[in-house]
């Protein structure tokens, strides 16, 4: 097929509004097959059935294409986490315990998006829309941590809520990346990744003074605390 014929086909896709979506889907397929570093801009164009020049109608370069995929991934990720958290219903601890497994499920079910979000090497802070999508997803975990922090038993020194959110994020992400992936990079584990994460979160909660069988009936706002080694309570 000549360059001019490919350009005419790209023009048809462009005018029908399909080119951008076709390129995004093509890149997702290539990420799933080869990883985020395993294909070129031209490969994505070829997979979408257009000329090497056609992608420039919508994307500056390969990094911008990956950034768009990562943004879409974080938007889906936010929805998954928010559904699991469900604004703390039916009670904070029950809802909190659902967030980690939702994290693992996303990594397992959407490996291409997960790789684009966390392994593509595209800087988060250079694209305002990508940065916003990333922060909105993390803010679900942060909101859950803030709600949990407010219930910390009196007399227990705890880290700030933001640090608690970062702890849970790190634990969930580490287990997801090592043992819960949906691709061939998954490491073997003599238990389900969800079981490993649940055990880790329970240990964390006990360290904060929560009993293993804490339930909604025992929830009540924590009494004001003085500053501890972590700084002022937040």
The answer to whether residue 231 sits within a structural domain is no
CATH number at residue 53: 1.10.10
- Residue 203 sits in which domain range? 66-218
CA distance 167 to 157: 16
pLDDT digits (tens, 9 = 90+) for 138-176: 999 999 999 999 999 888 888 999 999 999 999 999 999
Domain boundary among 59, 83, 104: 59
Please give the mean pLDDT across all residues of the chain: 85
The answer to whether residue 206 sits within a structural domain is yes
The answer to whether residue 228 sits within a structural domain is no
Q: Any bridge partners for residue 228, and if so which?
A: 231
The answer to whether residue 225 sits within a structural domain is no
Question: Is residue 48 scored above 70 in pLDDT?
Answer: yes
**Does residue 3 sit in the same domain as residue 113?**
no
**Does residue 169 sit in the same domain as residue 153?**
yes
**Does residue 82 sit in the same domain as residue 22?**
no
**Does residue 26 sit in the same domain as residue 117?**
no
Tell me, yes or no, if the pTM score tops 0.85.
Answer: no
**Does residue 30 sit in the same domain as residue 124?**
no
The answer to whether residue 169 sits within a structural domain is yes
**Does residue 91 sit in the same domain as residue 162?**
yes
pLDDT digits (tens, 9 = 90+) for 97-124: 999 999 999 999 999 999 999 999 988 8
CA distance 35 to 38: 5
The answer to whether residue 224 sits within a structural domain is no
**Does residue 86 sit in the same domain as residue 145?**
yes
**Does residue 32 sit in the same domain as residue 146?**
no
CA distance 109 to 181: 8
Q: Which residues of 121-135 are buried (b: 16+ CB within 10 A; e: fewer)?
A: ebebeebeebeebbe
**pLDDT attached to residue 18:** 83
The answer to whether residue 24 sits within a structural domain is yes
Cis peptide before 114 (omega within 30 of 0): no
Number of domains in the chain: 2
The answer to whether residue 95 sits within a structural domain is yes
**Does residue 102 sit in the same domain as residue 211?**
yes
CATH number at residue 198: 1.10.357.10
**Does residue 179 sit in the same domain as residue 131?**
yes
**Does residue 178 sit in the same domain as residue 86?**
yes
CA distance 82 to 143: 10
| HEC per residue, the chain | CCHHHHHHHHHHHHHCCCHHHHHHHHHHHHHHHHCCCCCCHHHHHHHHCCCCCHHHHCCCCHHHHHHHHHHHHHHHHHHHHHHHHHHHCCCHHHHHHHHHHHHHHHHHHCHHHHHHHHCCCCCHHHCHHHHHHHHHHHHHHHHHHHHHHCCCCCCCCCCCHHHHHHHHHHHHHHHHHHHCCCCCCCCCCCCCHHHHHHHHHHHHHHHCCCCCCCCHHHCCCCCCCCCECCECCC
**Does residue 70 sit in the same domain as residue 4?**
no
**pLDDT attached to residue 184:** 72
């Amino acid at each position: 097929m000549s360059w001019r014929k490919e350009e005419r086909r790209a023009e048809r896709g462009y005018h029908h509004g399909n080119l951008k979506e076709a390129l995004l889907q093509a890149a997702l397929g290539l990420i799933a097959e080869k990883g985020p570093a395993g294909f070129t801009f031209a490969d994505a164009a070829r997979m979408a059935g257009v000329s090497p020049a056609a992608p420039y109608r919508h994307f500056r370069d390969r990094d911008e294409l990956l950034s768009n995929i990562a943004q879409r991934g974080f938007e889906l990720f936010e929805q998954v986490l928010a559904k699991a958290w469900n604004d703390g219903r039916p009670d904070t601890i029950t809802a909190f315990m659902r967030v980690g497994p939702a994290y693992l499920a996303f990594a397992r079910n959407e490996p291409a998006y997960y790789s684009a979000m966390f392994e593509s090497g595209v800087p988060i802070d250079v694209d305002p829309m990508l940065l916003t999508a990333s922060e909105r997803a993390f803010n679900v975990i942060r909101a859950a941590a803030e709600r949990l922090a407010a219930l910390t038993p009196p007399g227990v020194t705890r880290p700030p809520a933001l640090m608690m959110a970062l702890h849970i994020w790190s634990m969930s992400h580490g287990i997801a990346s090592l043992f819960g992936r949906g691709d061939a990079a998954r490491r073997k584990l003599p238990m389900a990744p969800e079981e490993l994460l649940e055990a880790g979160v329970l240990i964390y909660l006990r360290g904060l003074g929560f009993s293993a069988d804490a339930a909604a009936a025992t929830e009540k706002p924590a009494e004001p605390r003085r500053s501890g080694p972590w700084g002022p309570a937040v």
